[in-house]
Amino acid sequence: MEVVGSVGVVGAGSWGTTISQHLAAKGYRVDLWVYEEDLCRTMRETRENNVYLPGFRLHDNLVPHAQLERVVRGHELIVMVVPSHVYRQTAVQMLPHLEQGTVIVSATKGIENGTLLMMSDIWQELQPSSSFVRMLSLSGPSFAKEVICQAPTAIVVAGEDLEVARRVQRTFSTNTFRVYTSFDRKGVELAGALKNVIAIAAGISDGLGFGHNTRAALITRGLAEMSRLGVKMGAHALTFSGLSGIGDLLLTCTGDLSRNRQVGLKLGQGRRIDEILGEMRMVAEGVKTAQSVHFLAERMGVEMPISEQVYQVIHAGKHPRTAVRELMERSLKQELEIA
């Protein structure tokens, strides 16, 4: 039994378009909000998102809209796939058009600068009552181009109400797209955001010409500090050993399609961050998340040395080789941290 007859998807980047295409191919009517009016017009005329996902014909069940209200109103299920820095303002615009009990699945991986809130926490802050919308988070190792080409993929949907999570699980799952459920929404969201910062570190390592030893160490110790912060904030430790944790971390740190790894790669090669970002049409969430993690770790009293060095390289102009040296010269530690 499926959860809905139609779905609203807010955000037409590569992942938003892929989710829309995936659900449309499964038989749902999908209304997709496209922020850029000229792109929306092009998508309607050519049936292709030639900016964010070129080369794939949009399914007939997928309808692009430039008006946010058309995508939000009347849908029981809405998927949010906008960048974290515009998430709040988009949610504010959506709120008047939502109905009580709407299921919102957040597929954005980031932490809001300034407030240091996760995306679901923004909704909890904005909604008129604690049960007005039902929040879930969708995360895991899933490059858009591989999903749209139907490469077997597994991700996780997390929410406190497991029955709602199971309904969303059934809605998204196909024979090439397997969805697991989780009760740990906080852990899934944190893992999805934090891994992008470690992916920038992995890219820097590759850009500096270091080998597999260095990358393996970064991934392993990066996972340790992700888990440290997550547990301190009330997440379940095992979530970081799952799809949204180590699964997505491995993908983003090693895959050539990873925007965050590509940013790090160019930083390691000596490029300036403003120059790198100026060349990018799509968002690398780890750049802004590095700033949020710096202040979040400080607030929570959690040591996150790799994430801190990424912050220093991006936002304070530290040379990547200096960052590596400082990491390697830190005081010696015991690997396992037992409370």
DSSP letter string over 196-247?
Answer: HHHHHHHHHHHHTT--HHHHHHHHHHHHHHHHHHHHHTT--GGGGGSIIIII
Question: Which has the closest alpha carbon to 158: 129, 128, 125, 191?
Answer: 191
Q: What is the pTM of this model?
A: 0.95
**Cβ atoms within 10 A of the Cβ of 92, count?**
11
Cα separation, 250 vs 104, in Å, equals 27
Q: Is 266 a catalytic residue?
A: no
Q: Which residues lie across from 153 on neighbouring strands?
A: 177
Cα separation, 307 vs 286, in Å, equals 10
Cβ–Cβ under 8 Å, residues 65 and 33: yes
Tokens 């303002």, located at residue: 89
Of 109, 186, 195, 288, which is the active-site residue? 195
Is residue 77 left, alpha or beta, with left meaning phi > 0 and alpha meaning psi from -120 to 50?
beta
106-133 pLDDT, tens digit per residue, is 999 999 999 999 999 999 999 988 789 9
Question: Which has the closest alpha carbon to 15: 98, 70, 79?
Answer: 79
Per-residue pLDDT of the chain (339 residues; tens, 9 = 90+): 345 678 999 999 999 999 999 999 999 999 999 999 999 999 999 999 999 999 999 999 999 999 999 999 999 999 999 999 999 999 999 999 999 999 999 999 999 999 999 999 999 999 988 789 999 999 999 999 999 999 999 999 999 999 999 999 999 999 999 999 999 999 999 999 999 999 999 999 999 999 999 999 999 999 999 999 999 999 999 999 999 999 999 999 999 999 999 999 999 999 999 999 999 888 899 999 999 999 999 999 999 999 999 999 999 999 999 999 999 999 999 998 754
Cβ–Cβ under 8 Å, residues 32 and 71: yes
pLDDT given at position 4: 60
